[in-house]
């Protein structure tokens, strides 16, 4: 018997957009509000897990051709590189700085190098969570 | 007065969660337990909302959306496990 998942597929297509938008909001709001790299990465991973649940591994792998083990490794590398970048300015390891810049659309914006470190944390969390879930579900 | 009203709401939400918990423990079939767990998630969302009014903060509003997302994903995973026996399929049967 052929299973019919049309309701699940339709709801997933709408819900994944909302979940990923919410995760980006959590990620960028982490400096002044509750949130940050860890919870942003985890909610991104939960959106991807919803995709894997509604569709199957092969479909998601052909549409999102990303090796999540490399994502985890690149995240850790990025976090370490922002730590080492502070050495070139004669300040201790992992020192962070920020500045106010005049961007075209956003106006005066506060940009901090802690965001780059947070990107590394979020990528490491996404890569690790998706790798764990996919490797558990292989031949389940 | 208003705080008393909110405390009463929290009390009745606790009663509702305990009723759902009875269904989780006693439920004769597996779908009963899954529905009761989903109901507990909804009641937790309401409880966090009332608590954030009671504490006069908006720091918990992200948590409300997050519990909703996690409860939804968890319920979908349980439902697929009950229906198909596998949570994440390798290849969809066309």
Kind of pairing, strands A98-103 and A107-112? antiparallel
Cα atoms in the Cβ-side hemisphere of radius 13 Å centred on A114: 15
Whether A119 shows a pLDDT value over 60: the answer reads yes
Model-level pTM?
Answer: 0.87
- Which of A53, A57, A58 has the CB atom closest to B77's CB atom? A53
Residue B73 has a pLDDT of: 94
Six token digits for residue B52: 């954030």
Residue B6 has a pLDDT of: 95
ipTM score above 0.90? no
Task: Report pLDDT digits (tens) over B27-49.
Answer: 899 999 999 999 999 999 999 99
Lowest mean pLDDT among A41-45, A56-60, B33-37: A56-60
Residue A78 has a pLDDT of: 93
Establish if B58 touches chain A: CB-CB under 8 angstroms.
Answer: no
Establish if A6 touches chain B: CB-CB under 8 angstroms.
Answer: no
**Chain A residues with beta carbon closer than 8 angstroms to that of B89:** 56-57
Residue B67 has a pLDDT of: 94
Q: Which of B31, B70, B41, B14 is nearest to A43 (CA)?
A: B70
Please say whether the dihedral angle defined by the alpha carbons of residues A39, A40, A45 and A50, taken in this order, is positive or negative.
Answer: positive
């Amino acid at each position: 018997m052929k299973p019919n998942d049309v309701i699940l597929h339709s709801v997933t297509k709408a819900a994944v957009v909302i979940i990923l938008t919410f995760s980006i909001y959590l990620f960028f709001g982490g400096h002044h509000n509750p949130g940050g790299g860890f919870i942003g990465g985890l909610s991104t991973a939960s959106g991807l897990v919803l995709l894997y649940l509604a569709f199957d591994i092969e479909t998601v792998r052909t549409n999102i051709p990303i090796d999540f083990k490399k994502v985890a490794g690149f995240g850790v590398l990025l976090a370490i590189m922002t730590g080492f970048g502070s050495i070139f300015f004669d300040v201790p390891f992992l020192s962070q700085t920020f500045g106010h810049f005049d961007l075209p659309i956003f106006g005066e914006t506060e940009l901090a190098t802690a965001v780059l470190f947070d990107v590394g944390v979020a990528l490491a969390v996404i890569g690790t969570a998706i790798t764990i879930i996919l490797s558990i579900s292989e031949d389940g | 007065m208003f705080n008393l009203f909110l405390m009463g709401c929290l009390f009745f939400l606790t009663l509702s969660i305990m009723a759902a918990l009875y269904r989780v423990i006693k439920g004769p079939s597996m779908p009963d337990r899954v529905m009761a767990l989903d109901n507990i998630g909804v009641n937790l969302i309401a409880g966090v909302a009332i608590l954030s009014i009671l504490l006069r903060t908006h720091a918990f509003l992200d948590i409300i959306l997050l519990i909703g997302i996690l409860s939804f994903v968890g319920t979908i995973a349980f439902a697929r496990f009950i229906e198909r026996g596998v949570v994440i399929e390798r290849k969809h049967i066309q």
